[in-house]
Chains A and B, each alone.
Chain A
């Protein structure tokens, strides 16, 4: 569903394209042997190449090339066996070279496409324009000193993949679904950790508006947005701002704007416009990047099952709904957990327990799946106890809470607390007889046609047996006794 802004002159459609910068998972930098790890002491992971000392030459990291190709394959994209590194020139304190080594006219990965997952299990195809490799810049800290900016070059030269989409998205929700899908794919592939808080994934968002069916309008770009929520807010604000300008008879200037999450607005970064005359040219320090089909084949043979294939398998082979399958495959970690629970068991029941009880308790306690006190095999054992009739579904929920709080095994909790389901017909029959004897008026009402009271009797019997009676057995004995 596209987002429509109802203006004074009619409906406006929002057009969105995204550039995602994803840090390549690697030990060392794109063109130097310094560490690419996050969070080290300032300037401790800087080689003279990263500091742009005269005479230092870049040498490409084979892992960065491999990861870019792997990501390209995951985006169903064309892999370019010949690509070229260019210099993108601009001045900034945290860019010691005075240029960023990037790829301009001939990127390593060309056109591709992905499916984004929308509400109710619906999907939509979004085009990928390209993916290229480039260096990250250093980090400037403006708030450490009253009159100076501090510069840390640890990030300088860290390998990034810039993934550019076609302007195919039509609402903030679709843009959010796109970012989530890219994050999911790179995490499955192991090519980027997708951590937006640490800045290993961030997005530049291009927004324009038009009357449905018209040509694309003039776009504005909002740079370096590091949360999906802020991105959606920025799109809504920016689209409305553009509609207001156009309806007042004005024109939108193509420019870079900054989103301010505190004020919830975008503002112009006009000062940057001239700096954006990048004067790209091929980097004379680097020959073209070339590899053969065998290199691509070797990588494609190591690709894991990706989220879309996994989702299809969960639906076709395990019989899950599109919605449940979509929820379970979004994170590889969740999908792996679910598969471990479901292995050799009722997959739908496993899905219900993972999505319902497990997620509910994780959310309640603010824990991630890796910190879950209930591991996959432990949840599987609980499900086995339901399946073999040892405990009822209702008791199982209590047992699960206890497992989550104490980390104990399901069977131990059932044993300790005496929660074993009672299927012994003698004990159940005795409880039923007591309930019937204690409620002669209700029995009379039931027999005079008030069928709904059956539920009342069920409830009383369950209560008398502390919920441990097997509901199937209770029904079987209770029904004929009441009807007689």
Chain B
């Protein structure tokens, strides 16, 4: 698998990471190096191996359906750049 410049630009846009035009080629080369490295795993024969879902020998923990959290509006909105009347306030999102 190999990434071209256009794919790098698309992935950057999807991830909301700004990359200058001049940096796209070098970024593609870097990413291709990483992909090539990971693809070495493809050389291992895994035909009869079950997919591993976790490195830990444990199962998903469940919680009882109880209300145990919430009720701290100020602490929640304090983490946004702007808030008003208990709402996060963000630049207008137009459909």
Contacts and interface: CB of A to CB of B under 8 A. Distances in A.
Contacts of A140: 93
Interface stretch (A143-151, A311-319, A346-354): A143-151
Given A141-B87, A279-B14, A43 B77 contact: yes
A61 interface: yes
Given A33-B67, A42-B73, A59-B63, A51 B79 contact: yes
A392 interface: no
A43 B73 contact: yes
Nearest to B77: A43
Interface string B75-86: 111010010111
A100 interface: no
B64 interface: yes
Interface stretch (A286-294, A365-373, A445-453, A466-474): A286-294
Given A46-B76, A60-B63, A290-B59, A32 B88 contact: no
B63 A61 contact: yes
A290 B53 CA distance: 12
A97 interface: no
Contact of A147 (B54, B66, B69, B92): B92
The 9 lowest CB-CB distance pairs between A and B, nearest first, are A33-B68, A63-B65, A34-B70, A150-B87, A33-B69, A47-B69, A151-B88, A287-B60, A42-B86
B37 interface: no
16 contacts: A27-B67, A28-B69, A42-B86, A43-B77, A44-B71, A46-B73, A59-B63, A141-B87, A145-B89, A145-B92, A148-B90, A150-B84, A150-B85, A269-B95, A277-B14, A287-B60
Contact of B65 (A49, A61, A142, A152): A61
B42 interface: no
B91 A42 contact: no
A142 B93 CA distance: 7
Q: Is the interface of A mostly helix, strand, loop or mixed?
A: loop
A65 interface: yes
A290 B87 contact: no
Contact of B62 (A65, A84, A145, A150): A65
B70 A150 contact: no
Contact of B68 (A28, A62, A145): A28
Given A274-B14, A288-B60, A148 B70 contact: no
B38 to A, nearest CB: 14
A51 B70 CA distance: 10
A51 B75 CA distance: 10
B67 A34 contact: yes
A355 interface: no
Interface string A45-88: 11111110100000111111100000000000000000010000
A395 interface: no
B58 interface: yes
Contact of A150 (B73, B88, B95): B88
Contacts of A28: 65-69
Given A91-B16, A274-B13, A149 B65 contact: no
A62 B63 contact: yes
B18 interface: no
A148 B54 contact: no
B69 A32 contact: yes
A93 B91 CA distance: 9
A148 B86 contact: no
Contacts of B90: 93, 148-149, 151
B49 interface: no
B70 A45 contact: yes
B53 to A, nearest CB: 5
A145 B66 CA distance: 35
A47 B70 contact: yes
A41 B86 contact: yes
Contacts of B22: none
B61 A59 contact: yes
B71 A287 contact: no
A141 to B, nearest CB: 7
A60 B60 contact: yes
B94 interface: yes
Contacts of A290: 59-60
A35 interface: yes
A285 to B, nearest CB: 10
Given A33-B66, A62-B63, A145 B73 contact: no
